[in-house]
Structure 1
Amino acid sequence: MELRLLVTFEKVATVLSFTRAAAELKYAQSSVTSQIRALESSLGAELFDRLGSRIRLTEAGERLLPYARQILELADEARTAVSSAGEPEGTLTVGTMESLTNHRLPPLLELFHHRYPKVRLSFRTTIGDETRQALHQGTYDLGFLMEAETEHPGLETEVLGAEPLALVAAPDHPLTGRPLTTADLLPVSLLATEPGCAYRDLFERELTALAPVTFMEFGTIEATKRAAATGLGVALLPEVTVAAELSEGSLVRLDWQPPFTLWTQLAWRAGKRLPAHARLFLEQTRKLLAEQG
């Protein structure tokens, strides 16, 4: 089996489209089709069912896919080991989220920029299901998750630590200065980031268990913080994202503890052999978050 044929097969199997695979590989579609036929001929088995404009893997294709990925990952690892003379090198596409990118990861980016310049980091901001899907498809090499669950089908996960949350409001908000129950939050204006963010969804679930609620939604954490500071309502956000505002007094923490715990995690596709530069990123991320507490 030629390596280039496996590259093409893995891409088609991931995106389930000859047209999209050709675009991503920068081939003519006819080249992708002929390479898949050549691979099928060499193996003596059809790898895809053609269903009009759609395709799907056959049983033989399903069996081949994990082997193809292992072979390609080993080839990349061998290429890196030979070419880099021991210095970490390679590209990592990492799914992340606003709270981590802005408030936890800058020291990690600085470290890699200065100490490991041959490791090229590409951060993509997505959350939850989008990150998991990109990991399954191979679009991301690694992905940060902030979830209550720590096991995800088809993924391997390292839990990096609990992510503290804070319910915040303007200093003169009526709910400040007294212990609160979840029921106390029902009458007030609630501010949040977009749906799909784990802490927002869990917060909403707790509230709607008592009564229907409506959130005033903002596109970013920064916009949500500003809205809370101007007195528009209360917001549940990762503590690290509001630490500066709490310190300077533009926001205060309300006396309510969420009845759930979020865990910051780094995940990758199950069965994937992490190359040396990916293992280095995992090691340095683990160290950084442990130092940050």
Structure 2
Amino acid sequence: MNIENMEAFVYVIHYGSFNKAADALFLSQPSVTARIQSLERELNCRLFDRIGKQVQVTEEGKRFLPYAQQLLQIYRKGKEHVQYKKQLPNELRIGCTVSVANYLIPGLLPAMREKYPQIRFKLQTGTTDELAAKVLNKEVDIAFSRPVNHPEIRSVKLLLDPIRLHVYEGHPFLREENLSIEAIGDEPLVFFECGALDWLRIHRVFESLNRPPRIEFQTDNSETAKKLVLRKAGICFLPGICASQEVAEGKLFPIDFPETSGISMQTCLISFQGEHTEIVQEFASMMKSRTGV
């Protein structure tokens, strides 16, 4: 049984179309169709119903899917084992979002350097979509990003960071015992927008209020947002890791509301399936020892 045929089968189900699967596999759409047809002949059954431009997995396809996924996983693990080299790379190319570069990486790399003194570390920043593309194209070895869902990418959860309202020292909110989230409508708001889905949940909270907040400053840079709050230009919803030092120093103060409870920013470590396993595990272990999760 051809492993490439099973890979095409899994990709078509994941992406929901032959065209999208072809793009992800860097193949033509007829090539993907040919691989599926070859697999159907081997299995002597139809795996997809084709209704116009839409494809729908058949009952036989649904039953075969977990076995195809398992076979692909076994193949990749076997390939990794055969190709594994004890000698680590001389240079590790790391991609990361700007916030990770500012707040997470500086605390991790010195420890990694101590454990792997022979490795040089090369960093570059980008958005999650850009970093995922770089991992797939082998332009970076690993990347710290928001969660990524792709069959060729392994995604390991590292950090779940609550997003909370932060105010500056002496702000009137700190004297309120029963503060309602409606009160933010009276204050100038700095809005840090990173593009992650969690920020859409913050927007939905705003839309549910009787008085929408006055967003006077909007930025995609957490450092800029934080410094505006420190200068008392407004208050801001920020990830905890961004403001941890200022909170410890008594310069910023987090405030919790039931309406925003559970809204967090998730950071994952992504890599190409089956590659750089030791490095990924070491970073994950470091984060676990630091955060206790």
Give the shorter-chain TM-score range.
Answer: 0.5 to 0.7
Partner secondary structure for residue 50 of structure 1:
strand
Distance 1:289 1:215 in 2: 38
Letter in 2 for 1:182: L
How has the CA–CA distance of structure 1 residues 34 and 61 changed in structure 2, closer, same or farther, with 3 Å as cutoff?
Answer: same
After superposition, the C-alpha distances for 1:161-217 in whole angstroms (9 at most, x for unaligned) are 77466643455x642763554335442123333375537836974x77774323624
Write the mapping of 1:1-293 to structure 2, written as runs, cut at 5 A: 1-86=1-86, 99-108=99-108, 111=112, 121-123=141-143, 125-126=145-146, 131=147, 134-135=148-149, 137-138=150-151, 140-144=153-157, 163=161, 167-171=165-169, 174-175=171-172, 178-179=175-176, 181-183=178-180, 184-194=183-193, 198=198, 201=201, 205=205, 211-214=210-213, 216=215, 217-245=218-246, 252-254=251-253, 256-259=255-258, 260=261, 275=274, 277-278=276-277, 281-282=280-281, 284-291=283-290
Letter in 2 for 1:8: A
After superposition, the C-alpha distances for 1:55-79 in whole angstroms (9 at most, x for unaligned) are 1211222222222121111111111
Partner secondary structure for residue 141 of structure 1:
strand
How far the C-alpha of 1:6 sits from its partner, in A, is 1.1
Can you give the 5+ residue segments of structure 2 that lack an aligned partner in the other structure? 121-137
How has the CA–CA distance of structure 1 residues 197 and 32 changed in structure 2, closer, same or farther, with 3 Å as cutoff?
Answer: closer
CA contact (8 A) 1:175 1:254 kept: no
Distance 2:95 2:264 in 1: 16
CA contact (8 A) 2:187 2:213 kept: no
CA contact (8 A) 1:96 1:143 kept: no
Alignment RMSD (CA, Å): 4.2
How has the CA–CA distance of structure 1 residues 161 and 26 changed in structure 2, closer, same or farther, with 3 Å as cutoff?
Answer: closer
Distance 2:5 2:66 in 1: 15
After superposition, the C-alpha distances for 1:32-88 in whole angstroms (9 at most, x for unaligned) are 211110100110111112121121211222222222121111111111111114567
TM-score, structure 2 normalization: 0.67
Partner secondary structure for residue 255 of structure 2:
coil
Report the count of equivalent residues.
Answer: 258
Partner secondary structure for residue 69 of structure 1:
helix
Percent of aligned positions with the same letter in both sequences? 23
TM-score, structure 1 normalization: 0.67
